[in-house]
Amino acid sequence: MTIQVTHDLKLSPDTKIIFFSYRGELGRQFQINKMLIEENALSPASFSLSVFNAPAALATMALGLKGGYSCVYPGNNSFSSCLTMVKAALLGSSLEEIAFIYADEEPPVEYNCLFNEPFLAISFGFLLTKIKNNNAPVLPSANENETPITYLKKLLAGGIHVGS
């Protein structure tokens, strides 16, 4: 999902990316834990892809991006803080644009007992820019405790075009 969303943003090679996720790649992490428990061993290749920056790293490698990336994995109810951080990073830097990419996958069924509500796998991204363009919408702030899904629904309901 992360590679596809990053691809769809059509970024310049030097664009900085901030990747945000609550849970990362739980499926991959679950398989690693299962391998450790059942086989008492771990594949180096599996482990190298289990780090939290793997989705962003793979996206930049697949698309030839060299602007660098940061990965943020905060606790729940922090989407608005992360979005504010991305806007502040753009405004407080010499960069003209920053890509903000959110992705969370559906947890393995073995983790269902840990979640109080159903979870939807989703990924989306925005290219935030300082360049003035009368056709570009202004990205609104997220309300405190707003989830990525409710924020995206709010944007869609407000008429902001999302997608390619």
Containing H/E element for 46?
helix 44-48
What are the tens digits of pLDDT across the range 57-109?
889 999 999 999 988 877 766 888 888 889 888 988 888 899 999 988 888 88
68 lies in which domain range? 2-24+52-157
Nearest to 22 by CA among 78, 60, 66, 67: 78
What CATH number should be reported for the domain holding residue 139? 3.40.47.10
Question: Apex CA 120: angle with CA 118 and CA 124, to 5°?
Answer: 155
Has residue 75 been placed in a domain?
yes
What's this model's pTM, rounded to 2 decimal places? Answer: 0.81
